[in-house]
Amino acid sequence: MMCSLQAPLRFYDCRETIAPSRLNHTMPSSTNVYRRRRGFAAIIAFALAVAGIVLAINFAITGAPPTRASTEAVFRVEGLGCKRKPTRTVGTVVSEPLNSAGQLLLTVAHGVVGQERVVALDRGRQIPLQIVAVDTEWDLAVLQASSPLRAENGSPISPVPVAEGRTGHAAFVVFEEISATHEVQVVRPAYVSRRLRITTEDIYLADLQDRDARPGLEVRTPTYVGDSGGPLFNSNGELIGLVWGTSRKTAGRSWATRVQAANSLLETARVSRDVNSDAPEDALRLLACAP
């Protein structure tokens, strides 16, 4: 008789008929049954533990306290010119009114670089924006508004305060469509689950050589197309990061660049207020105009 063990199915493939009197030999012993039950119990316990962690995070997000973030300092930004529809991101006021007029906003580079025209939407008005500094390595851009930005009561909008990002409750300020032509600003509860350094593919030049990992935050909050650049505020209303990406595998898992990554970029913008001549415009345009 020729028999071979077919792992991992654990049965014998024999070339002769097994007599009924021998069938009992193939039945699992009580020890094997006990081991299998223990294995199933361990799997169930692990699944329940994972579910408990997910529920705890969801509870932390939904139970987040109200934010003191200055939501008036957050604007919808649209890049126009290379697609049939505008490329939408979010920008946040990060400077006092400039002597040369206007104010500076911080956003992500991938939605504005290469566009023919960039504007901020302010209660039905389009305010022209100029790119004054770009960091292609960490996907950040500083924009200058053509005139000072004002709140609904007419007072100048102050720059948002900033702080080091820590784990804990947060608020994510973005915009959501309520019709084909109208959006409203919303504040989504969020939870910063950890600080980390993030290395990603270079979305501009496809070059991973000599690239520093960006200082980042892992965030539990839903993120959708058009949310890139949305500011993340801590419970004190301080800006701690800009959300730029979301997981393709885990729902509600997103990433933000810590605001400290923009320190030198903002200083460059305040001093020079010129377009960064080091940015290879031809290469960057491919990204903004990609289908």
- Distant-in-sequence, close-in-space partners of 127: CB < 8 Å, separation ≥ 6: 119, 120, 121, 145, 146, 147, 149
What count of residues does the chain have? Answer: 291
Q: How far apart are CA 15 and CA 18, in angstroms?
A: 9
Given this model, what pLDDT does residue 269 score?
84
Given this model, what pLDDT does residue 49 score?
55
| Structure tokens, 263 | 């320190």
Query: Model confidence at 143, in pLDDT bands (50, 70, 90)?
Result: very high
- Distant-in-sequence, close-in-space partners of 144: CB < 8 Å, separation ≥ 6: 98, 102, 103, 104, 105, 129, 130, 132, 269, 273
CB-hemisphere CA count at 13 Å for 175?
Answer: 24
Average pLDDT, the chain: 76
Residue 29: what are its φ and ψ, rounded to 5°? -75, 165
Cβ proximity of 234 and 166 under 8 Å? yes
pLDDT, tens digit, for every residue of 60-106? 444 445 556 789 999 999 999 877 889 999 999 999 888 877 899 99
Model confidence at 157: pLDDT above 90: yes
Given this model, what pLDDT does residue 98 score?
85
Position with higher pLDDT, 16 vs 288: 288
End-to-end CA distance of the chain: 64
Q: Read off the pLDDT of each residue in 107-123 and give the average, rounded to a whole number.
A: 93
Least confident of 12-21, 91-100, 185-194: 12-21
- Token look-up 């109208």 returns 182
Q: Which of 62, 222, 197, 58 is nearest to 137 (CA)?
A: 197
Domains of the chain in sequence order: 71-288 (2.40.10.120)
Percent of the chain exceeding pLDDT 90 equals: 45
Q: Read off the pLDDT of each residue in 127-147 and give the average, rounded to a whole number.
A: 92
**pTM to 2 decimals?**
0.71
Q: How far apart are CA 88 and CA 120, in angstroms?
A: 10
CB-hemisphere CA count at 13 Å for 131?
Answer: 25
Position with higher pLDDT, 100 vs 275: 100
Position with higher pLDDT, 225 vs 30: 225
Given this model, what pLDDT does residue 212 score?
65
Given this model, what pLDDT does residue 11 score?
29
Least confident of 89-93, 173-177, 181-185, 231-235: 181-185
- Distant-in-sequence, close-in-space partners of 29: CB < 8 Å, separation ≥ 6: none
